[in-house]
């Protein structure tokens, strides 16, 4: 007897959708409140992929 979990495929990077900005902000607040220190907070936020968007530098000529 096969289970539904065994039949499901592993999600691909292209299948993953970004979370809403408000949801990401709330998640960052939760991570920050439970982190031991700033380094752990940065690491967890990076691992979860909920860090703030960084501005891409302009190409200076």
Q: Tens of pLDDT along 29-43?
A: 999 999 999 999 999
Whether pLDDT at 58 is above 70 = no
Please tell me the predicted confidence (pLDDT) of residue 6: 61
pTM: 0.61
Whether pLDDT at 1 is above 60 = no
Q: How far apart are CA 34 and CA 44, in angstroms?
A: 10
The rounded mean pLDDT for the chain is 82
Please tell me the predicted confidence (pLDDT) of residue 60: 58
């Amino acid at each position: 007897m096969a289970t539904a979990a065994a039949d499901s495929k592993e999600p691909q990077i292209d299948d993953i959708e970004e979370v809403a900005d408000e949801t990401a902000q709330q998640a960052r607040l939760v991570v920050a409140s439970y982190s031991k220190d700033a380094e752990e907070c940065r690491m967890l936020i990076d691992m979860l992929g909920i860090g703030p968007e960084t501005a891409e530098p302009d190409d200076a000529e």
